Amino acid sequence: MKQLLNNRHPYMFIAPAVILLTLFSVIPIIVALVISFTDMNLKGLANWSAISFIGLENYKDLFSDATFIKSVFNTFFYVIIGVPLVIIASLSIALLLNYGTSWIFNTFRAVYYMPSITNIIAVAVIWGYLYNTEYGLFNYLLSLLTVDNIPWLEEPTIAKISLIILAVWKGIGINMIIFLAALQGIPKSYYEAAEMDGASRLQVLFYITLPLLRYATFFVTVTTLIGWMQFFEEPFVMTDGGPLDGTISIALFIYQEGFRYSEFGYAAAGSFILFAMIIIVTVFQFKLQKKDTDL
């Protein structure tokens, strides 16, 4: 073992991946932090001497930028409505799927997972058609119930809700699989004992199944929350942040500042505010979880 200690082999094995990660994940963090204190833009890209340090100017500007404030508000709107919906929907479906093991249940597992592996542009194309005010299927079905046309993507608040529906549809799959794996890890003997004691279905659900899913629920909540705070693809492909910035999220704001207006420094500052918000929310959840297990 001693001679292996200075062997070059382990380094040869890890080198390709670690070098790539360093170049495209570690160094970029440092670069982002540095440029967030500069006024780097398209001019600075061509000529580095045109870049100057402006301290916390970008961060200050962000908090007086109406579009940024709106994007923060929208992101909270998405998170507060979307995250509970995804968790409840994926948990309910996992509970139903866990009921049996025959081919029917396997088939439905695949059906519910499908949206989560579907390409986002294909999703945008399909849902754009479904949501279309004149020719869309949704408005046609509603017209059968004599409901007036709904402007799915044309009114700021309705558009936000439309995007949430789409994102919940797409977000169920992966969380459902995690819940299902956790459900299958619960020993059968617990259920048998409960049945022997004459526990009702609801009692089993609330006093055995849900408490034993605590860790899976925590994991799903943390990852879903992190994911939804970075809500990006849905408004990007469906509405481009419109109408009237009604659907713009923080992540989309960063993208637009960076790649549409080439305000690299400003966008980098925005991304660090988002990063800080994610860390605060995540730490807060771990604190809550600790308290919960202490009790």
Partner 1 sequence: MATATKRSKAEKSLVILLLIVGGVLVSLPFLWMISSSFKPENEVLAIPPTIIPDNPTIENYINLFTSMNFTVYLRNTIIIVLFSFLGLLFNAMAGYGFAKYEFKGRERIFYLVLATMMIPGQVTMIPVYLILNSMGLTNTMTGIILPGLAVAFSIFLFRQFMMTIPDDLIEAARLDGAGEFYIFFRLIIPIAKPIFAVQGILTFIAGWNSFLWPLIIANDESLYTLSVGLSLLQGQYANNFALQMAGAAFMVVPIIIIFAFFQKYIVEGFTMSGIK
Contact 59, 209 (CB under 8 A): no
Binding of residue 103 to partner 1 (CB under 8 A): no
38 three-class SS: strand
138 three-class SS: helix
Contact 221, 285 (CB under 8 A): yes
Interface segment toward partner 1; rule CB under 8 A; list 69-77, 145-153, 155-163, 227-235: 227-235
CA distance 178 to 290: 22
CA distance 174 to 215: 16
CA distance 89 to 112: 11
For residue 230, give the nearest of 258, 245, 252, 246 by alpha carbon: 252
Binding of residue 274 to partner 1 (CB under 8 A): yes
Binding of residue 91 to partner 1 (CB under 8 A): no
Site string for partner 1, 125-144 (x = CB under 8 A): xxxxxx-x--x-x--x----
Q: Which of 56, 69, 88, 121 binds partner 1 (CB under 8 A)?
A: 121
Q: Which of 101, 118, 149, 157 binds partner 1 (CB under 8 A)?
A: 118
Query: Cβ of residue 59: shortest distance to partner 1, in angstroms?
Result: 14
Contact 166, 277 (CB under 8 A): no
Which positions ≥6 away from 272 have C-beta within 8 Å?
Answer: 32, 33, 36
Interface segment toward partner 1; rule CB under 8 A; list 75-83, 104-112, 150-158, 203-211: 104-112
Q: Which of 185, 210, 261, 284 binds partner 1 (CB under 8 A)?
A: 185
Within 16-45, which residues bind partner 1 (CB under 8 A)? Answer: 16-18, 20-21, 23-29, 31-32, 35, 45
Query: Cβ of residue 113: shortest distance to partner 1, in angstroms?
Result: 7
